[in-house]
């Protein structure tokens, strides 16, 4: 059995160096613009790369979603939406080993001891492969059972989808792990290139296959796209992964990554709860979920933008903590990053509320029942995006156990709200309202157990004031305009007027934040 890799201790090393680093972090944290190790200029450059790639991917993703909805019926889209859930769940079959290994690796980057963490990555690779194969066997078995039982008109589509997802799970886990390592190394150029490659191939290959062979073509095309991603990460991998086994060290990594994994699993359930409740409660479940997917097409893109921006900062929290050991400095850095994320997400959120119902209502008239929920779902997703830095902070400073409590409480609340909405006959709008309430509650809980205790009173006031400045005017105006003149019934001129008003208000708030909120410091030189 291999020797155990020692646990990383952020207090280890030369006391004078860490004391100096901690003092530096605290100085920067109390200054007008607390900075990460590499400085805000590098962050701004990474944000531009990620934002540009995300913008391209969102355009291609929107085109893909529209194309698939034109080629497939709402019922077929409902089956596809449900089958994709099982692919997402495959990322949680490794018991958290990979998350623990990457967390150690990122902290080690700040300490300059990355060689120690390489062993953990090898162990995570081994466990990832074995666990994803086991998950694939289960899915293929369930798919075969559904196909042989012959229950329902969609039994064959469900069976084939689960079998294909079983194969996808193994490949996806390998690709996802390499992407996570690339992000830990802050190689956002490579990850952005991969995102664009997958988006282009998805539009071309999945669109062509769905047009030619329907839902079955979509299954096989998705597999083709993932194989292309596999080839890319293998050529651009940040480290070479090898087979390794150390039961004791794997247990330690599970102890670290298990709570992160469990919180991630519950978070995935939390974000997909509305779809699961629709499938479980409504008799025409495939049709209803297919219509609801029109709203999800918008909110998934919005959440993806917030998630991509937060990923730029995620490794920097752990790097800062590894170098300084100062949780307060990391909290102030996360609070400032939250402000910038909120400013970036406010405009697309406002535009989604006022423009998406009008555009999609004309392009996809069969999906109109699923557009009304947007006015509820978009503010809820904004709240989720605001909570992302808080959740990343908890992982970076070794408080991952706390993250589970917030998401579990919010999930129970959302489940109860969805039950009452569906049982009371409030339909898709009721589901969206209950889901949005759960998202807002989660955001409040996540911040209250992470950043809030580490921030002093002036920083707390600033945090609330800047979030209010960036979000309330833009999103509030968009909701008010959509309530006064619903987009589905509005003409082109009305929709254009609403878009211009929302964009102007957002521009004013950003200018105020830039000149009076200290955001101009993002172009300053790195603090070291």
Tell me the three-class secondary structure of 340-402, residue by residue: HHHHHHHHHHHHHHHHHHHHHHHHCHHHHHHCCCHHHHHHHHHHHHHHHHHHHHHHHCCCHHH
Q: Which range has the worst mean pLDDT, 132-141, 211-220, 392-401, 408-417?
A: 392-401
Average pLDDT over residues 419-427: 92
Q: Helix count (H) and strand count (E) of the chain?
A: 16, 0
443 against 513, higher pLDDT: 443
The pLDDT of residue 40: 72
Q: What is the dihedral of CA 99, 104, 105, 110, to 10 degrees?
A: 130
The pLDDT of residue 411: 93
The pLDDT of residue 500: 95
Contact between 459 and 332 under an 8 Å Cβ cutoff? The reply is yes
> Is residue 33 within a helix (H) or strand (E), and if so which, with residue range?
none
Contact between 82 and 279 under an 8 Å Cβ cutoff? The reply is yes
Report pLDDT digits (tens) over 241-255. Answer: 888 888 888 888 888
For residue 485, give the DSSP letter: S
Q: Is pLDDT above 70 for 133?
A: yes
SS3 218: helix
Report pLDDT digits (tens) over 8-24. Answer: 233 333 333 333 333 33
Q: Is 304 exposed, middle or buried (0-12, 13-18, 19+ CB in 10 A)?
A: middle
Contact between 39 and 118 under an 8 Å Cβ cutoff? The reply is no
Contact between 341 and 471 under an 8 Å Cβ cutoff? The reply is no
Provide the whole-model pTM.
0.70
- Closest by CA position to 91, among listed 170, 182, 191, 159: 170
Q: Which range has the worst mean pLDDT, 52-61, 203-212, 472-481, 483-492?
A: 483-492
Average pLDDT over residues 28-46: 64
Q: Is pLDDT above 50 for 528?
A: no
Contact between 69 and 348 under an 8 Å Cβ cutoff? The reply is no
The pLDDT of residue 150: 64
Distances (CA, A) of 183 to 46, 59, 137, 177, 479: 11, 23, 30, 10, 35
């Amino acid at each position: 059995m291999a020797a155990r890799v020692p646990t990383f201790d952020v207090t280890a090393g030369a006391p004078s160096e860490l004391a100096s680093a901690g003092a530096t972090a605290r100085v920067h944290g109390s200054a007008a613009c607390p900075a990460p190790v590499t400085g805000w200029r590098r962050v701004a450059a990474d944000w531009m790369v990620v934002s540009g790639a995300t913008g391209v991917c969102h355009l291609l993703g929107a085109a893909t979603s529209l194309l698939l909805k034109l080629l497939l019926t709402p019922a077929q889209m409902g089956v596809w939406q449900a089958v994709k859930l099982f692919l997402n769940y495959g990322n949680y079959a490794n018991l958290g080993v990979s998350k623990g290994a990457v967390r150690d690796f990122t902290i080690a980057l700040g300490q300059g001891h990355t060689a120690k963490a390489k062993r953990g990555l090898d162990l995570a690779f081994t466990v990832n492969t074995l666990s994803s194969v086991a998950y694939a066997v289960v899915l293929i078995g369930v798919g075969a059972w559904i196909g042989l039982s012959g229950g329902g008109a969609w039994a064959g589509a469900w069976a084939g989808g689960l079998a294909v997802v079983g194969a996808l799970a193994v490949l996806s886990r390998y690709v996802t792990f390499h992407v996570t390592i690339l992000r830990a190394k802050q190689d956002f150029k490579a990850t952005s290139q991969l995102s664009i490659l997958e988006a282009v191939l998805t539009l071309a290959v999945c669109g062509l296959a769905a047009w030619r062979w329907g839902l079955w073509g979509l299954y096989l095309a998705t597999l083709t796209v993932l194989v292309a991603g596999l080839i890319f990460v293998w050529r651009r991998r940040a480290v070479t992964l090898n087979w390794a086994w150390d039961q004791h060290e794997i247990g330690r990594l599970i102890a670290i990554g298990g709570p992160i994994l469990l919180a991630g699993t519950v978070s995935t359930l939390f974000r997909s709860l509305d779809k699961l409740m629709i499938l479980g409660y409504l008799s025409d479940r495939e049709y209803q979920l297919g219509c609801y997917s029109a709203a999800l097409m918008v909110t998934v893109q919005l959440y993806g933008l917030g998630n991509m921006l937060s990923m730029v900062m995620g490794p920097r929290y752990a790097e800062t903590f590894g170098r300084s050991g100062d949780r307060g400095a990391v909290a102030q850095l996360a609070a400032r990053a939250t402000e910038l994320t909120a400013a970036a997400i406010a405009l697309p959120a406002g535009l989604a509320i006022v423009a998406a119902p009008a555009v999609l209502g004309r392009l996809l008239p069969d999906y109109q029942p699923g557009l009304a929920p947007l006015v509820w779902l978009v503010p809820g997703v904004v709240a989720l995006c605001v909570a992302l830095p808080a959740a990343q902070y908890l992982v970076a400073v070794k408080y991952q156990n706390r993250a589970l409590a917030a998401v579990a409480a919010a999930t129970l609340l959302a489940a109860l709200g969805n039950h009452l909405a569906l049982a009371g006959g409030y339909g898709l709008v009721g589901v969206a309202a209950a889901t949005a309430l759960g998202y807002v509650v989660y955001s409040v809980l996540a911040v209250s157990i992470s950043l809030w205790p580490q921030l002093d009173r002036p920083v707390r006031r600033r945090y609330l004031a800047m979030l209010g400045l960036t979000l309330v005017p833009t999103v509030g105006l968009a909701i008010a305009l959509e309530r006064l003149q619903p987009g589905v019934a509005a003409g082109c001129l009305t929709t254009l007027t609403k878009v211009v008003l929302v964009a102007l208000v957002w521009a004013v708030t950003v200018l105020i934040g830039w000149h009076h909120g200290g955001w101009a410091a993002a172009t300053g030189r790195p603090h070291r």
